[in-house]
Structure 1
Amino acid sequence: MKRRQFISASAAASVGIMACKNTNAMSVKDEEETTKLKGNINHSVCRWCYDKIPMEDFLKSLNELGITAMDLTGPEDWPIMRKYNIHASMCWGAGKGILEGWNNPKLHTELIADYERVIPLVAEAGYTNLICFSGNRNGMPDDEGLKNCADGLKKIMSLAEKHNVVLQMELLNSKVDHADYMCDTSAWGVELCKQIGSDNFKLLYDIYHMQIMEGDIIRNIQDYHQYFGHYHTGGNPGRHEINDTQELFYPAIMKAILDTGFKGYVAQEFIPTWDDKIAALKEGVTICDI
């Protein structure tokens, strides 16, 4: 299942109650002890990349790996996550998905009502981060879309501040995966943060997506880290494992993030190709655990 399909399906459920193979990889199920992590990086993982693994089995694996959080989950997931002491590090359940977002003023009334409904739910559950999207351009100039996003989001910032919820707009590439998506560069997203002017609005900096759009990952982290509230990983090209099969060197990237004083979460969002997908996840976390 592609992420766009997964988001659409999960959003619908929320409203209601909301290949390379590595046959030599050792499964974490064969290990007797929980993986020991260094504690410098707060590790998370995006559920949609492992959606074929039953939720409870996946949560047990996260406990074994020492991963304490999971991204892109909604109210329907939170009770079982609490059972396994897994934090919801990036919530969803509000909005209309990636294609239709805050750059369209015709959607503001609907979006505002939806976020006003979900923000208190996130806070009541004890979580902080709630994702949002710019939407596609559909012929709209970037400066117009930026103003539209700022105008709409400002109307819910007081509620977010009241509940200590941080709205995070994700930076996505418009070259490979999300054609026409507007929030596709750090500069555009940072300018939006400046126009909104609230600590309760940040950017979800997706390293995979921004490598495709602009590169210069470490410099951008150093220059704009105060506007980045969350990070996603992924190997480029292909969005697969983050090892030496791809062009990014994640230990150096993680060091750059750590050097900024970042205390939030870094979530693995690569699509595993190994037969043992949990072993692939373990490798990714180990690479990032500096």
Structure 2
Amino acid sequence: MRRRSFLTSAATVSAGIVAAPKIWGKDGPGIHPLELKGNINHSACYWCYGSIPLDQFLSNLSSLGVKAIDLVGPEDWPLLKKHNIHASMCWGAEINLTDGWCDPKFHEQLIKNYSEMIPKVANAGYTNLICFSGSRRGISDEEGLQNCLSGLKKIMPLAEKHKVVLHMELLNSKVDHKDYMCDRTKWGVALCDALGSEHFKLLYDIYHMQIMEGDVIRTIEEYSNYIGHYHTGGNPGRHEIDETQELYYPAIMKAILKTGFKGFVAQEFIPSWDDKIASLNQGIQICDV
């Protein structure tokens, strides 16, 4: 399942280092989590595991020592409370990935959605809420930035009041999200600077930015003050983050730690193994530096 499809259906459906690849094969065996070091705040994006009922998945996270989950909305929060799992990145205010802040025709709906969702996030005890630039549709980068600025300025005082941090996600426009505007770190940084609020950050998706820019570690070091959250994923293919792909995640995680980052790193790769939880376990261990 692709995240684009999950966004559409989510509102209606609810109820040692790198030794790991040598421990688990694609068919198992079972979960044998190692003791986590506590340096990285681990999370996982539920849409990648949507075939697993949320109640069961939250139990799986607990068994792995993972205390947070990404991309869940208010309908799921009671279940999170039951399992004592934190919502490290909330969603539910966005329209979708293509109809976003860079196009003024969506501002009225987005302002309404976020004005309703921000207090809900705060009242539930959470902090992070995702947002998207949306597609260009022929709009220039500069005009799109000004459009985002115009719309977001109308909700930032509410976010600041409730101590909620909006995170605009960086996505690639080359492979997965054609025409998406916020597809470069520098563009996102320029928007952050224009807004001038500590309650607006970038969600730096390592997979997406490897496709668009590469030079991941240098970018993280240079722009760490603008990044409030990270997503993982193996490139190419967006599958496991082990030796089957080109990124070396232990070094990336060490670079993130070196910046003093205290937020969450969420696994957002699509498991190719039959045992999806063993695959997630491997990813957690690889990133647990």
Are residues 1:287 and 2:286 paired?
yes
Q: CA RMSD for the aligned pairs?
A: 1.5
Query: In structure 1, the residue corresponding to 2:269 is in which secondary structure?
Result: coil
Q: Distance in 2 between matches of 1:39 and 1:195?
A: 35
Q: CA deviation at 1:264?
A: 0.3
User: Structure 1, residues 100-122: CA drift from partner, whole Å, max 9, x if none?
Assistant: 00011121111111100000000
- Cα separation, 1, equivalents of 2:93 and 2:10: 10
Secondary structure class of the residue paired with 2:129: strand
Query: How do 1:1-290 residues align onto structure 2 when only pairs under 5 Å count?
Result: 1-11=1-11, 22-23=25-26, 25-28=28-31, 31=32, 35-290=34-289
Q: Distance in 2 between matches of 1:82 and 1:219?
A: 38
Question: How much has 1:24 moved relative to structure 2?
Answer: 5.4
Deviation per residue, 1:125-177 (Å, 9 max, x gap): 00000000001001111100000001110111110000000000000000000
Q: Secondary structure at the match of 1:167?
A: strand
Contact 2:27 2:275 (8 Å CA) reproduced? no
- How far is 1:271 from its partner? 0.3
Alpha-carbon separation, structure 1, partners of 2:13 and 2:270 = 23
Query: How far 1:11 moved relative to its partner?
Result: 3.9
Q: Which residue of the partner structure matches residue 19 of structure 2?
A: none
Mapped to 2, the partners of 1:74 and 1:61 lie a distance apart of: 19
1:161-210 deviation per Cα after TM superposition (whole angstroms, max 9, x unaligned): 00000000000000000000000000100000000000000000000000
Task: For residue 155 of structure 1, give the secondary structure of its aligned residue in structure 2.
Answer: coil
Distance 1:23 1:152, change over 3 A: closer
TM-score if structure 1 supplies the norm length? 0.94
Amino acid paired to 1:22: G
Distance 2:116 2:43 in 1: 25
Q: Secondary structure at 1:229's aligned position in 2? A: strand
Determine if contact 2:43/2:267 at 8 Å carries over to the other structure. Answer: yes
Letter in 2 for 1:182: M
Equivalent residues of 1:89, 1:127 under 8 A apart: yes
Q: Structure 2: 5+ residue runs without aligned partners? A: 16-23
Q: How many residues align?
A: 281
Deviations 1:261-289 (A, max 9, x none): 00000000000001111000000000000
Greater alpha carbon shift after TM alignment, 219-228 vs 104-113: 104-113
Percent pairwise identity: 65
Distance across 1 between alignment mates of 2:96 and 2:88: 18
Q: CA separation in 2, counterparts of 1:24 and 1:109? A: 48
CA distance in structure 1 between the aligned counterparts of 2:109 and 2:268, rounded to whole angstroms = 29
Q: TM-score, normalised by structure 2?
A: 0.95
Range that drifts further, 55-64 or 192-201: 55-64
- The answer to whether the 8 A contact 2:101-2:110 is kept is yes
Equivalent-residue separation in structure 2 for 1:13 and 1:151 (angstroms): 33
